[in-house]
Chain A
């Protein structure tokens, strides 16, 4: 009797476990697999993006501090869509040019406008850097609970099945529990990389943002000095 029961339920491959699971548990498992795919997609995307951003920053700083004229740099960069420090530089230079070409008199107003323009660009760049990190955080915190939900539902149904079969034999009990536990396993499988990736990428994004802010402050100082020099030369000329 028991041998027959064992033979019938000893098929506990992953696939059979998944197929034996109920509708809710299946849904939970599929959702968690989807979350895991999304997590890893974000991880791949972020790794690529951050590497590129860092490389661009290095290259731009090199060019910027090479003694090249700001006008020339602006002309080379304004043609194409740039990101990171380039975008901040272009935004500031655009505002500078607009103000001086129209013959603005107030240096304080000009300075404020340039800073605002740079802040807006900086915020936009930071947003782009931190995009989808929120979903990583959500997956990292919610996936174990979702998996647990699947497990609880699975165990509930398996206990109902046990009550129906009126047998407490472990061979009857075990497959249902194993199948239910698979949901928790998948949930943890999705959550652990998500949490690690979230911590890593939020730190990276913070570092890059700090670098951009530093550049913006420095460039603001340079422009402020330029404004003063231009005003003094203009006053001397008058």
Chain B
């Protein structure tokens, strides 16, 4: 036994020695420095849908509309363009321009009836406040239409000299504003300008309540005088030259910085019905499609039903049924059954947000599988 123990111990010593020498530190796993490859699962409809771009530009990997120059971005803009406001169509713009172009003749027409309309607007304020002061302004424009533009100019200078319109102050000190006005006047302009000055302060101190009624009246006088002035100076060519003749660029306010490439005018979202939704529609119709089995040459008939649906899934009007193949009797029978099925299956439960895609539905009936 001792011998065998020695033999065993020796064998173990050999084995352990071999293990220690050969099973040295196992080779460390070499982990290559590989960047994790991101794999995204993207729904296919995001690829198949139309991307916003330029319809005339060449095809590129990423579609982009024609670049815009304006830097300022507009929030939530969908349509590409240089505008500040997001507009959907280019068509309305030129229409507005036309109206603007037509506008100048209108003021030209107005000055002709000026004497007549002037009394018309004036009576309106009169009944509201007082009838007495109203006739006073009336005579003023009549006697000297030419002189009126002159009083306007000094009035403006006064306003420039005294920015805080001293209406209450004028009541307290009547002479004070007059004196500096006189001092300024000789420097500002010619002699006749002095006359209207005393006229204007006079009404102010007399009746404060009447000022309001007078002021609009004066303004109207001014307008009428201005329009009358235009009447005389109206030159269609000059005005036409002043008008902005730039073509309306139209479009929206969305900015684009990339080079133009092929694409649609708008990015569409997944508008097509998914397979499961089409299956649901098919199943809904099939439930009501009953055909008599054993009809002769029923397999050859193909029925196509075209129907228009409203938002709630009901059929608008009458579904359009066309049947082909087979004998006339079978054809009419199957066409009738298809129509009945379509009518009975409503309302159709379809996603409301994709109404654009199922507003018109074409259903193909193939009875060959039913026989």
Q: Could you list which residues of chain A lie within 8 angstroms of chain B, going by C-beta atoms?
A: 6, 10-16, 33, 36-45, 48
Interface hit among B4-12, B219-227, B256-264, B290-298 = B4-12
Q: In the bound complex, what is the Cα–Cα distance between A37 and B25 (angstroms)?
A: 25
**Interface members, chain B 1-43 (any A CB < 8 Å):** 1, 3-5, 7-9, 11-12, 16, 19-20, 23-26, 28
Q: Which residues of B contact A12 (CB under 8 A)?
A: 25-26
CB atoms of A11 and B25 under 8 A apart: yes
Residues of A within 8 A of B7 (CB): 40-41, 44
Closest chain B CB from A51 CB (angstroms): 13
A40 to B9, CA, bound (A): 8
Q: Contact partner of A41 among B9, B19, B24, B25, CB < 8 A?
A: B9
Instruction: Tell me the minimal C-beta distance from B31 to chain A in angstroms.
Output: 10
Closest 10 CB pairs of A and B: A40-B8, A44-B4, A41-B8, A45-B4, A41-B5, A41-B4, A13-B25, A37-B8, A13-B24, A44-B7
A13:B23 contact, CB within 8 angstroms? yes
A40 & B20 in contact (Cβ 8 Å cutoff): no
Expressed in whole angstroms, the minimum distance between the Cβ of B306 and any Cβ of chain A is 66
Which residues on A sit within 8 Å (CB–CB) of B9?
A: 37, 41
Report the minimum CB–CB distance from A31 to chain B (whole Å). Answer: 13
B positions within 8 Å CB-CB of A = 1, 3-5, 7-9, 11-12, 16, 19-20, 23-26, 28
The CA of A33 and the CA of B1, in the complex, are separated in Å by 18
Q: How far does the alpha carbon of A15 sit from the alpha carbon of B9 in the complex, in Å? A: 18
Complex alpha-carbon distance, A48 and B1, angstroms = 10
Contacts of A13 in B (CB 8 A): 20, 23-25
Report B-chain residues with C-beta under 8 Å of the C-beta of A40.
7-8, 11-12
Query: Known contacts A38-B8, A44-B8: does B25 contact A10 (CB below 8 Å)?
Result: yes
8 of the cross-chain contacts (CB-CB < 8 Å) are A12-B25, A13-B24, A37-B8, A38-B8, A40-B8, A42-B4, A44-B7, A44-B8
Q: How far apart are the CA atoms of A16 and B24 in the complex, in Å?
A: 10
Q: Which residue of B lies closest to A12 (CB)?
A: B25
Of the listed residues B4, B11, B23, B25, the one surrounded by the most CB atoms of chain A closer than 10 A to its CB is: B4
Cα A44 to Cα B12 in complex, Å, equals 13
| Nearest residue, chain A, Cβ from B26 | A12
Q: In the assembly, what is the distance between CA of A220 and CA of B11, in Å? A: 45
Contact of A37 among B3, B12, B23, B28 (CB under 8 A): B12
Which residues of A sit under 8 angstroms from B16, Cβ to Cβ?
A: 33
